Structure 1
């Protein structure tokens, strides 16, 4: 496996402030893919206030770690206000979505079953 880069779009062998790897932009959602495989994806997001991801479902569990700001995360019929330093797990196959109630950054990890 030598020479295969599994993690991308971030520096190696140094300490990095994750939240600084994505920047806010007016009226936009900015993303930066860290890794993307059939069974795992890790992505950084920066949402301007009011930006959203509409309700959808995924075959994998999704872990959202809030790095900055606040978002309202909806899982099924349940609404959760998540702020900096908090983590929310969205279970597989349950509709979920989110809206930035203020400018908001998150690290999203989606783990899917391997078949």
Structure 2
């Protein structure tokens, strides 16, 4: 008997999953704008996690000089094709008050 499970089913037609870490101004409005942008563009968001814990963002490269609280969002997105990743990156970099976007993991 095997208990192995895949991340996606064969009929889902997904080219892959990408895990993004987005650092933005510590405000619920920014979190809402990011999530709204994903839904309007019809990207398949599998998980959306917002971390309001007030972590020490000065340890993140590129955020050493940012003053105030930084919100960390983790977003898992299904990619129907590989060119969608570029569109997602462009969208996130245009959102007001987003400081940095990292492609943390790709499946």
TM-score, with structure 1 as normaliser? 0.29
- Of Structure 1 and Structure 2, the greater strand share is in 1
- Of Structure 1 and Structure 2, the greater helix share is in 2
The answer to which structure, 1 or 2, has the higher relative contact order (CA under 8 A, 6+ apart) is: 2
User: In terms of Rg, which structure is larger?
Assistant: 2
